[in-house]
Amino acid sequence: MDWNKNKNRFIISLIVILLFSLNSNSQEFDAEKYRMLYNFKTVKQADNTRLLEVSFNARNNEDTKDIIPVFGAEIKFYSSLEEKEMLLGSSKTTKEGIAKLILPGNQKYLTNKDGNITLNARFEGSDKLSEESEEIIFKNVHLELDLKEIEGIKTAIATVYTINNLGEKIPVETDISLYVNSMFAKMKIGEGSITDGEFEYHFEFPTDLPGDINDNLTAYLMIEDHEEFGNVIQKKTAKWGVFHQHKKEKKLTLWSQYAPIWMYVVLTILLVGVWANYVYTIINLFKIKNEPDAFETKNIIRNT
């Protein structure tokens, strides 16, 4: 009984020590030693939906490599105009500290007379973390991509414009880049600028780019980190790729499926020699076994 009591006391003491250590570790996080990193960005995607994304992390002031993602923080996204606000939706941060919200292509926003849209991503704070907020101002630009052959030349046609209150297309000035999909990341194959009231820009498409097994190749048209339009992506696929089938020469090596011919010859000679040795040994064994009988027969003949 005493042993059981001591055992129970030991277990209880161990649990208390573990709880104390856990509480002490949890108290090690001091908010004053960390700087909150709160970044908000938006991307108009190829299907004309808009991605809203917030990255929320805490970085140690002394050790910049010590970054702790803020998990489970509710981020609310608003469209605002002067004193008005319209809630677009909300999302909680993941274990990586990322909150995302995708808005449909026909989403309505509060827009001022110049066509500017103001989006706000807001964290309303908690017991340990203060309120965080960041806003983005942009114009809703339309980006179109078409892949055509013009006079035998493969051409990527980029069209960029905005729409005013009357529904009219208005040309804009911006830099654009053309990418293609590759094995690990998108590869830039061209860049240009739309200026002087033009709607279109033409890229001459390379003819030797690798595609998939069906010769399909996906092109991406992008406006990147523009002060007025933000990030915009458009894409299109065409049979403009070249499928490169790598034909390897059948060179016989030690690690290939079939060994070099000289190895077959050497192996055959060795095997023939081994089996010949076996046969020779067996024949000699039979001869040795029959020698006593022959010796006795000779002696009998002599004695007679």
- Asked whether residue 16 carries a pLDDT value surpassing 50, the answer given is no
pTM greater than the 0.75 cutoff? no
The residue with tokens 């033409």 is 202
The b-or-e profile of 193-217 (16+ CB within 10 A means b, else e) is ebeeeeeebebebeeebebeeeeeb
The tens digit of pLDDT for each residue in 39-74 reads 999 999 999 999 999 999 999 998 888 999 999 999
Q: Is the pLDDT of residue 27 over 70?
A: no
Q: Distance between CA 248 and CA 251 in Å, rounded?
A: 8
- β-pair partners for 36: 58
Contact criterion met (CB below 8 Å) for 136 and 119? yes
Which has more confidence, 292 or 3? 292
Task: Answer yes or no: are the C-beta atoms of 103 and 91 closer than 8 Å.
Answer: no
pLDDT band at 257 (very low <50, low <70, confident <90, very high): low
- List pLDDT tens digits, range 185-232: 889 999 999 987 889 999 999 888 888 888 889 999 999 999 999 999
